Amino acid sequence: MRKVLLLAAVLLALPAMGQKVQLTQNGKCDAVSQVNLMKEKQSKSAKEEIRLIAKVTDRFDSKAMRSLGIVTGAKAGDIVTLRLPIEKLSAVENCAEVLQYTVSEPIFPTMNRTRYDTRTDSVQQGLGLPQAYTGEGVIIGITDWGFDYKHPNFNNNGTDNRRLLQAWDQFKLSGPAPEGFDYGTVFTNRHDLLAACGDTAGLYGYATHGTHVAGIAAGRGIDGNYTGQAPYANLLFASFYLDLASWMDAVQWMKNVAQQEGKRLVVNNSWGMYTLGPIDGTSLASQAINNWSDSGIVFVVSAGNCGNDKFHVSKTFVSGSTDTLRTRATYYNYNENGQNITIWGEPGKSFKMSFAMVSSTDSVCFRWVNTADGAFYLDSALTNNADNLGFRITVEPANIYNNRPHILLNVDKDSRYSIDIAITAEDGTVHAWNLASLDNGAGNMGAEFTRGNSLNYTAGDDLYGVGEPACADKCIAVAAHSADAPNILGMKASFSSQGPIIDGRHKPEISAPGVNVGSSISSYTTEQYTEVMSYTYATRKYVWARMSGTSMSAPAVTGIVALMLQADSTLTVDEIKDYLCRTARNDKWTGPLHERDSISNSWGWGKVDALAAINEVLAHVDINQADITWFEKSLQLYPNPASDRVTVLTGRHTPETVVIYNMNGSRVLSQQVTLEGSIDISALPHGVYVVKCGARTARLVH
């Protein structure tokens, strides 16, 4: 056959082998969830259960739902988790108090040098501080898999140590479940934790990821070696089912325990996906994080490991043009389950897409699909002689969470063929990502878009690479770099995903070491690692080894947040983010980000600096002894001296927290200001004060 190099401007439609299913546009359930529900109904009996995440009104009645056989789990503001038999789905659909719902999507998981790089070693020693800070009195929750409850990194040589408070293994069926939940097994005391040894095997087998992550955040180390960031913090471990609703249940359980203990909670999420809904922070999972953050829970999330993957393409179409974006989607290496191409447009602006399977000798194309034609699903195949390439396509003209038009294309793998994509629109910007499809339906690995054999094709880039839930507005998304230690370069990790988010927000916020980080390994894992240190206790050998990823950089920041909360347990999530970002360290690798008042797609505001962040929290300032350079980037205040009110000029178009401290370093007043704001100081005693906004400072005479 004649070799076809380019997609034609108008493609011939092939007869569809499958039946086109029109999807409803009722505003409650997005198109992808409707398709997933169809698949669930085909694969399960009516009595088998499914998990949903729902947005509800304040009149939502959990007891009424339970009377219908629908179990409510976690509640994050107006976002709840539901578990129900498929036959009960109509009750959710018809419930006026359920505004939106989505099928719980599957999930896949994404030290000495770390302490040196982040200046945590100085904080733990109390250098230049009123005391040492070690995370004492704060709870760190690790949502992950592969925990070793007996590892000495979390215990003190068999003594009655309560650092590991509890663990919930959602895979273990024997019970008892945590209070308020009806599945899994919770271990609430040291005896039961040690008897259990570790969590059971899930889809990822007897893993170790969670043990390694927890060790970075809060491991005690051995004789000062491989000590974690917050070695005196308490810990909660949750081995959660591989879906978002179960993760939300785990966070709710952690919140309940933290409230019982009367302690602040930091939750570490060293995993992420690009298939959890819109990757712009509007998904129900992102909304849940924002709601919980407003209640005081701090979420730290790995930014992703797709920095090496040219898995994104985009094009801005201009009204009146006839441009078409053409690109070739490659398959992910070693993956046998095909690819999914997810495409998002701008709100209110439709786009068209077509694709072809291309071999070295010929090409066969599928017709144009237009988001303006309504929501539908098609399970079909392209046929070329005796070859069939199966595909599934889901189309929605306006996603219920962000109003963006959306197409999801799943293509089966056949290495004899490439997948050529064509996208066009009358105007607006369209983004596309090429991702692996895994056995459990998840996928967080990117594969390249290439030019194929044509210069008219667009090659992929590594931008817009931060996935869910790191794109939630309130969470702290963490990039990775190699530790800036003696004889080691502190450059950006090549695998670290880059921003921004398609809605224009900047992510990640901060960077931490994530290359060859040494931490604890589960002694029960079946995976193989090269040990860097071991310790034998009660005849059992426990190992430390190195791993890389933003999975390792996130807990480095999680531990620092615990140190900050020990210094001031009243900090809000917004204040924590502000202090971390405004005190981030800039060097030759990051560039002068603070000097330019700019955030980097790779670094955020720079490298996290625990010592500077703690100093920002404590704000120990002696005006008479301060170096004049400390005031070089001062705020503008007037009048100054001031009597009843002072006006603060921040110069920034986003809300900034302005804090006033007395000469003892105590915070006496706090207020958010956008550009210019007047602050009432009439109740303050007369004297000299320090006014701070981020890293900028001014002296105020009252």
**Measuring CA to CA, which residue among 321, 425, 329 is closest to residue 370?**
425
pLDDT at 408: 92
Residue 485 near residue 115 (C-beta atoms within 8 A): no
Dihedral, CA of residue 143, residue 148, residue 152 and residue 157, to nearest 10: 120
Helix (H, G, I), strand (E, B) or coil at 472: coil
Read off the amino acid at residue 626.
A
Q: Is 669 a residue whose pLDDT tops 70?
A: yes
pLDDT at 255: 96
Identify the domain containing residue 66 by its residue range.
24-103
Q: Is 52 within the bounds of a domain?
A: yes
The domain boundary residue, chosen from 571, 589, 611: 611
Q: What is the CATH number of the domain that holds 635?
A: 2.60.40.3080
Across residues 126-147, what is the average pLDDT?
Answer: 87
Q: Is 521 within the bounds of a domain?
A: yes
* 638 and 682 co-located in one domain: yes
* 603 and 630 co-located in one domain: no
Across 9-23, 199-213, 259-273, 381-395, least confident range: 9-23
486 pLDDT band, cuts 50/70/90, is low
pLDDT at 13: 35
- Structurally, how many domains does the chain consist of? 3
Q: Count of CB atoms within 10 A of residue 310's CB?
A: 18
Per-residue pLDDT tens digits for 456-477: 899 999 999 998 889 999 999 9
Please give the mean pLDDT across all residues of the chain: 84
Q: Is 379 within the bounds of a domain?
A: no
Across residues 571-593, what is the average pLDDT?
Answer: 91
Helix (H, G, I), strand (E, B) or coil at 408: strand
pLDDT at 360: 76
Continuous segment of H or E residues that includes residue 582: helix 573-582
pLDDT at 620: 39
The domain boundary residue, chosen from 79, 103, 127: 103
* 606 and 635 co-located in one domain: no
Longest dimension (CA), the chain: 89
Q: Is 650 a residue whose pLDDT tops 60?
A: yes
Q: Whole-prediction pTM value?
A: 0.81
* 545 and 668 co-located in one domain: no
Residue 656 near residue 686 (C-beta atoms within 8 A): no
Q: What is the CATH number of the domain that holds 288?
A: 3.40.50.200
The domain boundary residue, chosen from 551, 579, 611: 611
Q: Count of CB atoms within 10 A of residue 47's CB?
A: 10
Residue 512 near residue 116 (C-beta atoms within 8 A): no
Q: Is 15 within the bounds of a domain?
A: no
Across residues 493-511, what is the average pLDDT?
Answer: 92
30 pLDDT band, cuts 50/70/90, is confident
* 675 and 550 co-located in one domain: no
Across 98-107, 545-554, 625-634, least confident range: 625-634
pLDDT at 695: 67
Q: Is 343 within the bounds of a domain?
A: no
For residue 500, say if its preceding peptide bond is cis, omega within 30 degrees of 0: yes
* 497 and 552 co-located in one domain: yes
* 235 and 289 co-located in one domain: yes
622 pLDDT band, cuts 50/70/90, is very low
* 577 and 693 co-located in one domain: no
Q: What is the CATH number of the domain that holds 36?
A: 3.30.70.2980
342 pLDDT band, cuts 50/70/90, is very high
pLDDT at 312: 94
Q: Is 677 within the bounds of a domain?
A: yes
Across residues 140-166, what is the average pLDDT?
Answer: 82
Per-residue pLDDT tens digits for 203-255: 566 788 899 999 999 998 888 888 999 999 999 999 888 788 889 999 999 99
Q: Is 588 within the bounds of a domain?
A: yes
Dihedral, CA of residue 380, residue 383, residue 386 and residue 389, to nearest 10: -60
Q: Is 269 a residue whose pLDDT tops 70?
A: yes
* 595 and 489 co-located in one domain: yes
Question: Token pair for residue 303?
Answer: 């930014």
* 275 and 148 co-located in one domain: yes
How many CA atoms are closer than 13 Å to the CA of 576, on its beta-carbon side? 31
Instruction: Report the length, in residues, of the chain.
Output: 702
Q: Is 587 within the bounds of a domain?
A: yes
* 74 and 142 co-located in one domain: no
End-to-end CA distance of the chain: give it in Å, rounded: 86
The residue with greater pLDDT, 201 or 396, is 396
* 478 and 535 co-located in one domain: yes
